[in-house]
Amino acid sequence: MTHYQVHNFQSGLNFEWLGQKFDLLTEEQVRNISYDLKYRYQFNVVNRQSQMKSWTIDLKSEKPTVVSGILEYNPDVVITIHDDLLHKIFSGKKKAQKAFLHGKIKAKGKKILAVRLDYLFKIVYRQAKL
């Protein structure tokens, strides 16, 4: 498993949790997630010290993965977001759609995927509970 935690980044723990949940998914659960969300998401996360760290969620591969850094494949969307905001979206305290509409999330590529982050995390949480 890739080391997700990075000093001064709250969302590193969220990505680590997500990677662990992906590792435990059954084939049926993978199909349920991949049905609507077969994309690659690159997150460029900026912390309070203006440092940037990237993580990638790959839902196109046979088994969903989370990696620290950038994949060799082109992502479908590149999301630039502040660490605190991403942590709140992961935990359900903030809505990605509202943050995107207020300019708090920057996206390149398939921008609609940035709006659907809430849906992505909801599906993953639901499958992880099964």
In tens, the pLDDT along 46-87 reads 999 999 999 999 988 888 899 999 988 899 999 999 999 999
* pLDDT tens-digit readout, 2-47: 455 567 899 999 999 889 888 888 888 888 777 778 899 999 999 9
Number of other CB atoms surrounding residue 107 within 10 Å = 18
Q: State pTM to two decimals.
A: 0.88
Class of domain 11-129 as given by CATH: alpha beta
Extents of the domains making up the chain: 11-129
Nearest to 23 by CA among 44, 48, 8, 4: 4
**Is the distance from CB of 66 to CB of 30 less than 8 angstroms?**
no
CA–CA dist 29, 38 (Å, integer): 13
Burial of 83 (0-12, 13-18, 19+ CB in 10 A): buried
